[in-house]
Chain A
Amino acid sequence: MANAVLDSHQLASENDGADRTLQLVSFRLAEEEYGIEISRVREIILVGEITEVPQTPPYVKGLINLRSTVIPIVDLKLRFGLPETEQTDDTRIVVVDVGGKTIGVIVDAVNEVLRISRDQIAPPPQAVQGNAGDDYVTGLAKVNDRLLILLDIEKIMFDQDQEEGVLVSEPSES
C-alpha cells in the first residue's frame, strides 16, 4: 500500500536526476535570451484580452481565461525592472506550471526548444545576478554563439523578499 503511494514520487525524482541533458524553451526579453526548463512549460499562446486587477504589483498585468481557468499574467520585463515596450506580432504568453499553479508569462518572442548538456551550464557570475534582480538566474548556458540565461521560474514567482513582490502569497500552503 505504502509502495503505491511512494511510486509517483520516486518516478518524478528519477526523471529529474538521471538525465544528463536539459530541455529548454528559449525566449527573448528586450535584447537578452532566456531559457526555462521545458517541464515547466505547459503551452505558448498569443496575447489576448487581459483583465487588469487592482491592488497588485505593476508586473502582474492581469487575468486571462485559459480554457475556463483564470490565470494571472506576469510581464517578466517589468518583473526584472526593464522598461515596458509595446506588444508586437512576436509577443507571446508562455504558460508555466509553478508550485501547483498555472501562470502566464509575457515575453517578447519565443525562439525555440533546445536540448543542452548540463556541462554547458556555467554558474551565474556576480555581475549578472545584479542585472536580473536576484538569484532567479540559475546559470548561463553557451549555445553556439549565443548566451542563454537560465531562470528558476519558481523563484521568480514566489520571491518573498521583494516588497509587494509576492506573487503568490502562500506557496507552502497549497
Chain B
Amino acid sequence: MATKNHGFDDEFLATMLGDFLDESQEYLSRLNENLLVLDELVDEGEPEFDPDMLNEMFRDAHSLKGLSGMLQLDDINRLTHRIENVFDAARNGQLDLTRQAVDLVFEALDKLTQMVDRLKDPSVEKVEYEAVVEGIRQLLEDAGNAPPCPCPNASKEEEALVESTEGTPIAAVSSEEGTSPDNPLEGVTDDTDIPDKYLSLFIAETEESLDGLSELLVGDEVSDLKPLLVICHRIKGAAASIGLHRCAALAHAMEDLLQQRHEASEPLTPDIVDAMLSAVDAIRDFIERLRADKPLEDRFPAAYTALQKATGAKEPTAQAATPAEPTATARARLTSEDRQAIYTARPAQRPALAGAVTFASDLPLAGMKASLVCNRLAGLGQLFAVAPSEEELPQLDDVPLLRFGLATDRGKEEVAAAMDVEGVVDIVLEELPEETTGEDIAPAAAKPAPPASSQRARDRRSSDRPAETVRVDIDRLDQLMNLTGQLVISKARFSQLCEQLKSMSSRKQSLHALSSLESRLEGVVDELDSTEETDLHVLRAHVGSMRRDFEAIRAEIEQLLKSRPVVNELSEAVHQLGRVTDGIQKSVMDTRMVPVGPLFSRFKRVIRDITRSNGKNIRLVIRGEKTELDKRMIDELSDPLIHLVRNAADHGIESPSDREAAGKPAQGTVTLDAFHRGNQIHIRVRDDGRGLDPERIRAKAVAKGILSAQDAQRLSDAQTFKLIWEPGFSTAEKITEVSGRGMGMDIVRSKIERINGSIELESEPGQGTTISIILPLTMAILPSLLTVIRDDVFAIPIEAIVEIVRASRRDLATVRGAKTARVRGRIIPIVELERIFQWHGPAAATAPPTDEWTLVIVGSGQNEIGLAVQDVLGEEDIVIKSLAENYRNVEGLAGASILGNGRVSLILDVPTLIDRASNGYGRPNDAGAPSASPADDVSAVDVPTA
C-alpha cells in the first residue's frame, strides 16, 4: 500500500470506481442533508446537536475517506479527512460548530462534489481546494485541536498515504479497546434500528464482496493482496455505516491481517487463507440470517480467534490483528456504542458521567497506571462499565484506551483533575442523559448479549424480509427499454398481419354467391336441354365447362375456409403475445422508476444558499417525494428544476419587509410537489411571492424585439405570460455557485419538451406563481392515433385528442380567410398540415375533398384546432424515437416512430401546431383580411343552415 500500486487490473479498478461514484453520491447527499439541519440549528442559536447525527456525519466522511484512500484518489481523500476531523472534534465536544464552521464544511462538500463529478468527466478543470483545507486546519487550530495528522505541511502524497494506512475507523474502535485479545468482539453490539433500505443494500453489496473475496482467496496464488484489502475495507465500511459493528470489527481484523502481510511483502500462508475463508463464511452466515430475518447470532468470535491463530502460528511476535496504533497521538473518544454500553450499565437514579482516557503508547506499567486512575475515580463515586475490566488492568502492558462510567455528583472538572495521572494523554468526559426513554436504548441485560438486542431490532422493524436488490448499469436498462420498444413494434406488425388474414379468410358470402350462380347456371342448362335446337350444342358444351370451373372454384374456397380455425388460433396467439408484451413493457418501465425525493432534497441546499445571499426568509416545502419517475427523466429534470426553484426564490418571493407590507407572513414558501394524474406525472414549483407582472413582461418583450408594442397590448395576461418561454426573452444568466449553470426559460422549456413533457405557468399578482411540468410516464412509449396526411402516416398523441369528427360542407365556414368547422356548436379552426408546415415536394395529388373533412380535434378549452386528415388508421402504442438522437429537433414534431411495416412515421407535437395555427401561419390571405375584432368575426361567420 505504501507505493502507488500498478498491480491493480484495470477492470477491477473500473468496477471499484463505479461503486465509488455510486456510494460517494449517497454519502455526499446524506452529509449535505445533515449539514442543512446543523445549519438551521446554528441559525436558531441553540447549538444542541444530536450526537447521533454528528456521529453519522463523521461516519459518512470517514467512509468516503476510506474508499477514496483505497482508490488512491488522493485529493478527495485529503479533503474528506479534513471534514472527518471537523466532525470528530465536534462530536467530542472539542469544536463548537459555529456559522463559520458550517459554511466551511458546506464549501468543502461543494468541492468534494466537484471532485467526484470530475471523476466522471476528466475534462473538467481541476478543483482548487487548498483554501478549504487550510480553512479547516485553521478552524481546528483555533479550537485548540491540531488536526491529528501531525504533518500539515507534508506533501500531499505522503499525507494521503498516512490516510490510507491509518485505518482507525469508528466501528473498529471496539476491537482496539477489547478487554482480552481473545475476543475483541465482546461488548460490541450492533445498532438496533437499521432501516430496511440500507439493510438490503448492505446484503446485496456485501454478498458481492464476499463472492469476490472467496474467489480471490481460493485462487491459485494470492500474490497481490491489494484487491483483498479493498474488499475487506469495503465490507467493513458497509457494515459500519449501517451500524453492524460486530461484522465491521471482524472485517477490520481481516483487513489488518492482510495489511500486515502486505506491508511485510509476505504471501498468505494456507493457514491464513483457511482462517480468512472461515471468516468469510461467518459473515456469509450472518448475512443469511439477516436476510431470512432470523434471530441474529454470529460466529464472529470463533472466526476472529482463527484469524489470530493463523497469524500467531507463523509469526508469534506479531501483535495479531490489532496492530500498533499510533497511540502516542491517540485522542480519547467515546463512540455511540460506548455511550450506549455505559448508559445501559448505569445505576438507576444517579447522575452519571461517561468517560474515556488514553495513555501514552510506550508508557511503562500502563496497566498499573490505569488501575490507579480507576482507584481515584472510585473515590469520587460509583465506577461501572469499565473496559478493560479493573481486574485485568494491572496485568496489561499496554492500555490504548480506558473506558468507564462513573455515577457521581461531582462536576466534570473535579473528576478530570482526579484523573491527572502521569502518562495520561487525553481525557473525555460526558454527562449521561438523565432520563431513560426505554425505546432507544437497549435494556441493561442486552449489553453482553448482542443477539438479543439485534433480535429486538429485527422485531421492531416490519417483519418483512428486506427486498433484495441488484445494481444495474443504466445503459443496460436503456438497452432493455429499446428492445422492449422493438417488441412493441413487432407486436403491432403481427396484429396487423393477423387482421389482414382474418378478413381474407372470412369470405363466406362468396360461397353463397357461387351457389346462386351455380343454380342459375343449372337453370340455363335445363332451359337449353328443353329446346330441341341442335345448333345450341356448342353453347351447351360451354355452359358445361363453366359448371366444372365453378365446382373447382367452390372446392378452393371451401379449402380456404377450412383455414379459418387456424387463423383464429393465430389471432389468439398474437393476442397472448400482446399481453406478454404489455407485461414486459410495464415491468421494464417499473425497473427504471426511482423516487423523485433525492432530486427534490437537493433544493433544500439551493434555497438555503439563496436565503443566505439575498436575506430573504424562505421555507421549502416538499411533497410527493415518493412519486416515481423514469431515471433518465430525473437526470434531465435536474437542471431545469434548479432554474425554476432559483427563480421562485430569487425573483418570486419578496423581501420579508415587502411581504409584511403586503399583509403576508414574512416567511415565503416555495413548494415542490410531484404527483400522478392519469397517465402523466405532474411536477409543480409554486411560490407565494409577488407573481408575474404582465406589464413588465410586455415591455420587456417589446424591448427585446419579440413583438411589436401594438401586438403586445392586444395580448391577454395569460398570453403574455407565455412570452417568457420565447427564445431570447430571458437570457442565460451568469454562472453562479448557487444555480450551477444558469439558463434561459426557453432552454428550460426545450429541455422539458425534449423528454416529451410540457410546461405551464399560472401567476396571480400578489399571490404567487405556479409552474407545472407535465411529463409522460415513460419517455419511450406513447399511445397514439395513426392518421394519414399527405399520403403519409402521422401519429397524434392520444393525450391531446378530444374527438374525431366528420365535417360536411355545411359545417364549414371561412373566418377571415381561415377555414373553420362547426362542431356541436363550437367554431373550430381547421388546420392543414400542408399549409402550416413547409414541405419539400409539391402538395400530394390527393388533397382532401372539399365537401367532407375528417378532423381530429386536438387541444383543450379555447385552444382547440381541427387537424385535417385523409384517413384515420387506428390507435396504437408507438415507440418514440427522438429526432435529436441522430438529427435535431424539428418544430412541430415530437419525434418519430417505426411502424409495424418498418416505415418511419412522424409524431406531431400538438402544442406547437396550436401555437402555429393561432399565430396565423398558413392563412391564405393573412395580410388582406379585414381587421375585424374577434367578436365581429364570429357574427360574420357564414354558416349555411339548410
Contact = CB atoms under 8 A, between A and B. Distances in A.
A in complex with B: yes
Interface of A: 1-7, 49, 51-56, 58, 60-65, 68-72, 101-103, 166-170, 174
Contacts of A61: 840
B937 to A, nearest CB: 28
A170 B13 CA distance: 34
6 contacts: A51-B905, A54-B890, A55-B893, A69-B886, A72-B887, A167-B887
B818 interface: no
Contacts of B119: 1, 5
Nearest to A102: B886
A101 B886 contact: yes
Contacts of A62: 904
Closest 9 CB pairs of A and B: A54-B837, A72-B887, A51-B904, A70-B881, A63-B904, A169-B888, A101-B886, A71-B886, A70-B896
B486 interface: yes
Nearest to B122: A5
B73 A65 contact: no
A103 B893 CA distance: 19
B71 interface: yes
A69 B122 contact: no
B455 interface: no
Contact of B890 (A5, A6, A56, A58): A56
A6 B119 CA distance: 11
Contacts of A52: 792, 839-841
Given A51-B904, A55-B890, A68 B122 contact: no
Contacts of B841: 52
Contacts of A55: 837-838, 890-893
A167 B888 contact: yes
A1 B837 contact: no
Given A1-B119, A70-B904, A170-B888, 11 more contacts: A4-B14, A55-B891, A63-B896, A63-B906, A64-B904, A65-B902, A69-B881, A72-B883, A72-B887, A166-B888, A167-B887
Interface in B780-817: 792
A87 to B, nearest CB: 15
A46 to B, nearest CB: 14
A114 to B, nearest CB: 28
Interface string B9-23: 010011001000000
Given A55-B837, A68-B482, A70-B898, A168 B13 contact: no
A49 B893 CA distance: 19
Given A51-B906, A54-B839, A103-B886, A68 B486 contact: yes
Interface centre among A3, A5, A102 (most CB of B within 10 A): A5
Contacts of A101: 885-887
Given A54-B838, A68-B486, A103-B887, A4 B904 contact: no
B840 A168 contact: no
Nearest to B889: A169
Nearest to B882: A70
B460 interface: no
B885 to A, nearest CB: 7
A6 B122 CA distance: 8
Interface in B803-854: 833, 837-841
A167 B886 CA distance: 10
B903 interface: yes
Nearest to A56: B890
Contacts of B883: 53, 63, 70, 72
A54 B885 contact: no
Interface string B470-511: 000000000000100110010000000000000000000000
Contacts of B327: none
Interface residues of B, number: 39
B72 interface: yes
A49 B904 CA distance: 9
B905 A1 contact: no
Contacts of B887: 60, 63, 71-72, 101, 103, 167-168
Contacts of A169: 888-889
A4 B17 contact: yes
A167 B884 CA distance: 11
A53 B486 contact: no
Nearest to B899: A65
Interface in B111-132: 119, 122
Contact of B17 (A1, A58, A102, A174): A1
A69 B897 CA distance: 9
A1 B904 contact: no
Interface centre among B10, B885, B889 (most CB of A within 10 A): B885
A106 to B, nearest CB: 14
B20 to A, nearest CB: 9
Contacts of A51: 792, 896, 903-906
Contact of A1 (B73, B888, B902): B73
Contact of B893 (A2, A4, A53): A53
A1 to B, nearest CB: 5
Contacts of B838: 54-55
A101 B881 CA distance: 14
B886 A65 contact: no
Nearest to A104: B886
B341 to A, nearest CB: 40
Nearest to B897: A70
A27 to B, nearest CB: 20
B840 A65 contact: no
A97 to B, nearest CB: 10
A147 B890 CA distance: 38
Contacts of A60: 887
A163 to B, nearest CB: 14
Interface in B868-920: 881, 883-893, 896, 898, 902-906
A69 B906 contact: no
A158 B10 CA distance: 36
Contacts of B122: 2, 5-6
Contacts of A72: 883, 886-887
Nearest to B890: A55
Nearest to A6: B122
B116 to A, nearest CB: 12
